[in-house]
Structure formats: structure tokens, C-alpha cells
């Protein structure tokens, strides 16, 4: 076999630059190979050494994260992280971004983001059981933003329905900062028996490399890995990103059949290794599988089923066609593997073999189009430590004079303020989105969307075990204080899971930032992951998987730094859960935690004063940990009927949400000594509102006293009004109308 020489010493550097490799990176590639690279090799290196695939600007600092814990079976480094869930069951989960593709085609961008996450899950041997979405858009007064939002939600919904996997939780924010660069983060969760855990490794010299699923087309060539490694420009209208439209589409039915086939193959013990073909396609999957096993791998592109005649070797190697998996099998199992794939109406093709050379060889029959060390592709991208500089805006915004603003004083003004916040885009009900996904009726869903976290039953039909899941991040907080804002994202995710009875076990993350080449952005990134890492260590919550998404900018303007935390908690008994809705008239309302005057970065400032400024709330992680623990204890003992965290919008919004959900009003007295607007809308952390019947209240108070957490009895459930301490006097029906109809009204323009 002969090596194809399709580039000269002059043409190779020019192509490398066009593909995004720096001159130093190109020289490094030539040094590794000891010769001028081929076209195929340059494409493969350019993608594997892109920011999206290599994490070359973040990998050094990601080592700050704690990755070990009592439940961890598989930490970072595989397709997904895996934790033990008890009784031999395990949970795999991973969060990924599909931001840049979704800004071009929100429907397919979101759908293929969900599909890619699902493949990460069953690549570990786990059956997908739930999706969680975390999305950000510009404000809905703009037609393009409504189009992005509606189509992204439809893409998530249709793909999850097609796979018969519910989308059970998530969050949606609308801020001007995301207008030019929406964020579509998707988290997939799956269950498996611990003994069925498999890794994406190309083990066993002489074993066959098999491609399963859709034929390969030209979709996404130069796609996710390139798009996610460069910022958008802007078109003449200042809104639409100017990039080449790349047609990556998803087929949820084929995704479902692919999952079923892979799970059957794993259950029958027919696979040695299994990997997902996502960004960079065959290149990433094959090189990573070979590198993890310390082996080489050979791919013959003439064996790869293609959609179009005349595809070049580099196109086949970097195509991002969806619904494909790469498997390693022993030769004797080929017929059985083929039979399973035929049953699920999937193509299955032997495209290569595992070797002992350590090299990744790409050939077309007798012509070699690439031969390079697999390790150099997967693990030896150059690592950078960009310059950092504290943003100048932080001091100015932190010292903003909140008290100098005109604040509501009387009941009429405070009523109007609460109604405006309830129907604001970042507070109002997301029912339009999650009802469109029809998740509540899924048999595994114990606590449906619309609560602080979702609860999903796991195991077989006799199992009482469950998991709780939530995703959280307030980008305004991180913008104003990246260290503490990231810790608040972790704290709120854990608080939400605790409110339904889940014990936080581990997190995945999706770290969304602007260009790392800008010192102020990179300083923010470093502070954010430092805060998140320190918070995880203090709370004993490991990071087992994740994703970094840089270059989220449009026309030079970066998004708010948005390190989304996806958290999974464990429940031994699925019957011992809690929801946020008020249950019965006469129930006692108790606030766990206490309120301070903390309006910096709040929804109150944003909605009422159109301001993002001030010092964000303080966070005592030890108090936060204790509050979570005592709420879980109260749920476990069956002493409380509802639990709801106080976060965006403050205690007034939390009370209204519980009242609206339960169809019962409340009478509340807030004896905190604060001005009414601060008492109602402060976003002080570590607070949870719980209710219990009057006969249980003494027992609840004993538990709270023994836990040494601050608390106060603040009122009673009942009636048809929201009555708060001489400050709020509203019909519950008016609150419900404002809250439940706002999103639909905004979408109608």
C-alpha cells in the first residue's frame, strides 16, 4: 500500500490555516508525522485539535474539579459519567451543548443535540430514560428570537417523543445577552445494571471495527467542531449569524432503533467496545477508542456505506451524519451482530480492524490517505493557558446604588410589581413548553415538569428506587460575580433536587462562555470553574462528565457566562417525594432559612428597573448543605406536604408558585425587618418554603431545631387570595392568570 501525496510543502500550510490550525499547530503536526501531511490528515487534526474536541483552552483548569465520590463508577474521560444507584443499578448521564448549530437551524440543532446526548448514554450500556433541557434566547419581543425558541423546543420535543424518552426538567432564560448566540444545552440520563457498563475502547488486536446505523453523507463536514470553535459574525440586520449553513439532520425513529440494537448487542455480550459518532464523526470516535485502549486502528473508507457517490476520504472521515455508532467485535460474533442489526432494520458494515501499531490508518483500498499516531489525535492537542484580566465592569456594577432607585411602597404598587414579575419572561410558567412534550404521562415519571426537580423511577417493575434531576444557572449572577455565581448554580441545583427528596450524588456541566482569546472572558471562565470546583468539594458532589462551549459570541459581543449545572440525586423510595404545590387549607407555612436585603442581579431589578447590576446574594455553602439535609429528612419522615425553593423572584414568587400550583391561597406575615420590596423580592440563598398540617408542625419544628438551621413560621394555606403582611393583597386567580398565560401571549407577539 502506498501513501497518497496530495499536498505539497507550499499547499499544506495554506490548507491548515484555512481549516483553523495555527502555524505552530501545523508545524507540530508535520513534526509528529515526519513529513508533509495529507489532506485527510489535516482535516482530522484540525477537528480533533479544535476547541470543541480537544478542550485545548480549558483542559488544564478542568483538573480543578473533584471527580471521585462514593457513588462514582465512571468519571470524566468516557462518553458519559456513571454513578451507582443501589441494588446493582447504575445511572449514566452527560450534558452537551449544541449552541452554534441551533443558531442556524434551531429545530435540527436542538434535535441532533438531544440525539447526540442519547448516543453518549447508550454507548455506556445504559438505556436512556430522561432528557433535561437548558436553553437561553434573546428577549421574545423580537420575531427571530420567538422563531428560535419555538423551533428549538419543537426539535427537543419531537426527538424525545420519537425515542419514547421524556424530557422531564430544564430551564429557559430570555436575556438580551443571548440574542446573537442562543444556548441549547441538553442532558441525557440512562439506567443500566452495573455489570453491563461498557467503555468506548478499541480493545483486542485483530478485532473488527463495525459501523452501525445510517449511511454516511456530507452532513456537517466542518460542522459542530468548527462552529463551536469560532464566534459568529453578524449579517446586515444585526441578528442572523453569518456562517455556512451545514445540513445536519436527525431521525428520532432511527435513533430509537439504534439504541435498541446497541442495547440488545450489549445485553447479549456481543460487543467489546462501543462509541458514538458525534462531532468529527469517525475521526473522533475511532481515534478516542484506539487511544483509550493503547492500540491502533485501521479504517477502509471504501467499506463505509455512503449516501452519495464520489465522497472523498476526508469527507467520510469527518462527516457528522447522525444516528451512527462504532463498535468493536470479535470476528466470530459478526453473524450474530449482523442478525441483531437486521432485526432493527439497521445497516451494519465491517469498516476496519484493531491493530497493535498505535497508529490510526485511513485507507481507500490500497491507497493510504492517513497514517498518524491515534494518541496524537485524541490526547496530544497543544494545551493553552490564555491571558486573564479581571473585567473592568465588575466594580462599577457591584457598587450600583440599588437603594437610590424608586421602589414600590404601598399595597397597590407592590401588587402591580408582583404581577409584573410573575408574567416576566424569566419567571412565568413554562407549561407551554413542557406540556408540548407530553412528559407527565410517561410511566416512569414520578414528579413531572413544573416542580423544582423531576423524579424518575429506575430499575425493574419491583424497584422502589428513583432519581431526581435538575439543571440550573443564573447567567446574570455569573456575569456579576463568576466565582460566587457558579456556586449559586450548584447550590440551586442541589436545593431543587433536595426539595423533591433526592440526595445529590453527582453533576455534569455545560460551561458556556465567549472567546477564550479575550483576557476578560478567560478570567471569568477561570473564576467560574474555580467557584464551581470549590463548591463541589465543600458539598461533596463530584463532577463526572461535562462539556466546554467557547466562542459563544456574535459581532464581538459575548453571552453572559453560563456554567450550567446538571445534577442527579438518588431516592431509595420513590413513594417518598415532595412537590411544590400547597395541599390543604389550614396547613402551616414555614420558611427554612432567613431573608436579607439582597437584590443585586435579581429578577426584580431586571423586570422592574431594567437593570442588571449590584452585588449578588451571599452564599454560605455549609448552611446550604444543612438546609438541604433537613428538608430531605422531613420528606423522608413524611412530615411535610410541600417544599419549594426560594430563588429567582424571591419569596413572593415562591409563595405564588406554590399557591397557583395547588389552587389555594395563603396568608403570610414576613417578620424580617426589611423594606417591603426587599422582603418580598430579595433572592437570598439557602431558603426553602415547606408546609405541613397543624398536627405535625411541632414535630417539624423539633427537627429544624435539632438541625440548627434558621426558620420561621410565616403563615397558613387557604382562601382565594395572596395575602402577605400588609404588602400583597391579590386574588389568586389574577396571579395565576398572569403566571400561566404570559409565555403564550409573548409568543403570539
Annotated catalytic sites, by residue? 52, 98
Closest CA to 243 of 276, 263, 220: 220
The cell for 92 is 449514566
Q: Coil, strand, or helix at residue 37?
A: coil
Q: Which residues contact 747 (CB under 8 A, 6 or more apart)?
A: 140, 146, 149, 150, 432
d(CA 525, CA 552): 12
Looking up cell 467557584, which residue turns up? 531
Q: Are 325 and 213 in contact (CB under 8 A)?
A: yes
d(CA 133, CA 445): 16
Which phi and psi (to 5°) does residue 300 adopt?
Answer: -105, 110
Closest CA to 56 of 518, 386, 382: 382
The cell for 247 is 445540513
d(CA 113, CA 99): 9
Closest CA to 576 of 494, 464, 658: 464
Closest CA to 305 of 277, 333, 273: 277
DSSP string of 475-537?
HHHHHH-HHHHHHHHHHHHHHHHHHTT-EEEEEEEEEE-S-TTSHHHHHHHHHHHHHHHHHHH
d(CA 228, CA 336): 39
d(CA 621, CA 9): 57
**Nearest-5° Cα angle at 96, 93 to 97:** 160
Neighbours of 176 (CB within 10 A): 13
Integer-rounded Cα radius of gyration of the chain:
26
Which phi and psi (to 5°) does residue 573 adopt?
Answer: -130, 110
Neighbours of 361 (CB within 10 A): 20
Which phi and psi (to 5°) does residue 152 adopt?
Answer: -65, -45
Q: Coil, strand, or helix at residue 434?
A: helix
Q: Please give the helix or strand (H or E) that residue 219 lies within, else none.
A: none
Closest CA to 449 of 463, 435, 467, 428: 435
Name the DSSP class of 449. Answer: B
If you count DSSP H runs as helices and E runs as strands, how many of each does the chain have, helices first? 26, 29
Amino acid at each position: 500500500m502506498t501513501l497518497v501525496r496530495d499536498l505539497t510543502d507550499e499547499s499544506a500550510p495554506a490548507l491548515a490555516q484555512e481549516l483553523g490550525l495555527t502555524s505552530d499547530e501545523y508545524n507540530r503536526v508535520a513534526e509528529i508525522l515526519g513529513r508533509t501531511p495529507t489532506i485527510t490528515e489535516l482535516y482530522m487534526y484540525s477537528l480533533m485539535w479544535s476547541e470543541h474536541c480537544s478542550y485545548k483552552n480549558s483542559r488544564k483548569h478542568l483538573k480543578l474539579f473533584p471527580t471521585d465520590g462514593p457513588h462514582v463508577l465512571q468519571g470524566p474521560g468516557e462518553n458519559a459519567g456513571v454513578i451507582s444507584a443501589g441494588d446493582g443499578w447504575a445511572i449514566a448521564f452527560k450534558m452537551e451543548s449544541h449552541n452554534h448549530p441551533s443558531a442556524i437551524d434551531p429545530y435540527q440543532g436542538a434535535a441532533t443535540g438531544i440525539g447526540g446526548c442519547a448516543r453518549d448514554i447508550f454507548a455506556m450500556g445504559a438505556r436512556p430514560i430522561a432528557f433535561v433541557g437548558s436553553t437561553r434566547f434573546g428577549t421574545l419581543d423580537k420575531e427571530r428570537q420567538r422563531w428560535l425558541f419555538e423551533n428549538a423546543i419543537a426539535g427537543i420535543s419531537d426527538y424525545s417523543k420519537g425515542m419514547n424518552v421524556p424530557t422531564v426538567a430544564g430551564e429557559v432564560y430570555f436575556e438580551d445577552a443571548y440574542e446573537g448566540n442562543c444556548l441549547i444545552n441538553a442532558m441525557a440520563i440512562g439506567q443500566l445494571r452495573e455489570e453491563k457498563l461498557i467503555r468506548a475502547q478499541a480493545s483486542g488486536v485483530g478485532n473488527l471495527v463495525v459501523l452501525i446505523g445510517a449511511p454516511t453523507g456530507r452532513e456537517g463536514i466542518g460542522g459542530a467542531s468548527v462552529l463551536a470553535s469560532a464566534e459568529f459574525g453578524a449579517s446586515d440586520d444585526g441578528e442572523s449569524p453569518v456562517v455556512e449553513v451545514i445540513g445536519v439532520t436527525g431521525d428520532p425513529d432511527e435513533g430509537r432503533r439504534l439504541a435498541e440494537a446497541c442495547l440488545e448487542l450489549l445485553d447479549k455480550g456481543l460487543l467489546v467496545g462501543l462509541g458514538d459518532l458525534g462531532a468529527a464523526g469517525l475521526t473522533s470516535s475511532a481515534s478516542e477508542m484506539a487511544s483509550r485502549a493503547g492500540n491502533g486502528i485501521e479504517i477502509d473508507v471504501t467499506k463505509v456505506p455512503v449516501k452519495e457517490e464520489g465522497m472523498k476520504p476526508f469527507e467520510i472521515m469527518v462527516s457528522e451524519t447522525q444516528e451512527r455508532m462504532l463498535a468493536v467485535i470479535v470476528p466470530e460474533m459478526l453473524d450474530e451482530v449482523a442478525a441483531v442489526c437486521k432485526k432493527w432494520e439497521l445497516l451494519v458494515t465491517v469498516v476496519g480492524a484493531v491493530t497493535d501499531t498505535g497508529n490510526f490508518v485511513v485507507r481507500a483500498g490500497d491507497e493510504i490517505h492517513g497514517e498518524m499516531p491515534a494518541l496524537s489525535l485524541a490526547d496530544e492537542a497543544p494545551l493553552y493557558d490564555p491571558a486573564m484580566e479581571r473585567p473592568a465592569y465588575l466594580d462599577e456594577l457591584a457598587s450600583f446604588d440599588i437603594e437610590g432607585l424608586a421602589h414600590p411602597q404601598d399595597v397597590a404598587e407592590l401588587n402591580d410589581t408582583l404581577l409584573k414579575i410573575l408574567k416576566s419572561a424569566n419567571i412565568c410558567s413554562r407549561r407551554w413548553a413542557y406540556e408540548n412534550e407530553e412528559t407527565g404521562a410517561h410511566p416512569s415519571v414520578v414528579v413531572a415538569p413544573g416542580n423544582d426537580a423531576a423524579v424518575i423511577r429506575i430499575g425493574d417493575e419491583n424497584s422502589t428506587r428513583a432519581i431526581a434531576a435538575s439543571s440550573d444557572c443564573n447567567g446574570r449572577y455569573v456575569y456579576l460575580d463568576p466565582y460566587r455565581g457558579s456556586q449559586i448554580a450548584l447550590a440551586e441545583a442541589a436545593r431543587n433536587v433536595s426539595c423533591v427528596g433526592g440526595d445529590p450524588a453527582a453533576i455534569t456541566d455545560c460551561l458556556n462562555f465567549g472567546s477564550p482569546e479575550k483576557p476578560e472572558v478567560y478570567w471569568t471562565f477561570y473564576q467560574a470553574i474555580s467557584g464551581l470546583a470549590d463548591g463541589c468539594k465543600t458539598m461533596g458532589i463530584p463532577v463526572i462528565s461535562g462539556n466546554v462551549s467557547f466562542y459563544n459570541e456574535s459581532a464581538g459581543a459575548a453571552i453572559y457566562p453560563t456554567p450550567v449545572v446538571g445534577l442527579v440525586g438518588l431516592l431509595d423510595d420513590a413513594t417518598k417525594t415532595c412537590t411544590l404545590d400547597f395541599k390543604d387549607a389550614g396547613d402551616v407555612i414555614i420558611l427554612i432559612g432567613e431573608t436579607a436585603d439582597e437584590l443585586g442581579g435579581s429578577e426584580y431589578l431586571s423586570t422592574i428597573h431594567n437593570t442588571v447590576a449590584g452585588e449578588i446574594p451571599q452564599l454560605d455553602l455549609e448552611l446550604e448543605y444543612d438546609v438541604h439535609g433537613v428538608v430531605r429528612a422531613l420528606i423522608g419522615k413524611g412530615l411535610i406536604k410541600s417544599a419549594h425553593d426560594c430563588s429567582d423572584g424571591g419569596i413572593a414568587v415562591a409563595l405564588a408558585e406554590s399557591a397557583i400550583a395547588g389552587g389555594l391561597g395563603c396568608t403570610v406575615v414576613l417578620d424580617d425587618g426589611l423594606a417591603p420590596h426587599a422582603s418580598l423580592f430579595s433572592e437570598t440563598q439557602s431558603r426553602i418554603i415547606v408546609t405541613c398540617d397543624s398536627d405535625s408542625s411541632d414535630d417539624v419544628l423539633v427537627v429544624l431545631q435539632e438541625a440548627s438551621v434558621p426558620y420561621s413560621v410565616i403563615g397558613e394555606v387557604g382562601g382565594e387570595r395572596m395575602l402577605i403582611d400588609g404588602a400583597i393583597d391579590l386574588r389568586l386567580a389574577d396571579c395565576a392568570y398572569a403566571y400561566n398565560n404570559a409565555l403564550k401571549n409573548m409568543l403570539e407577539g
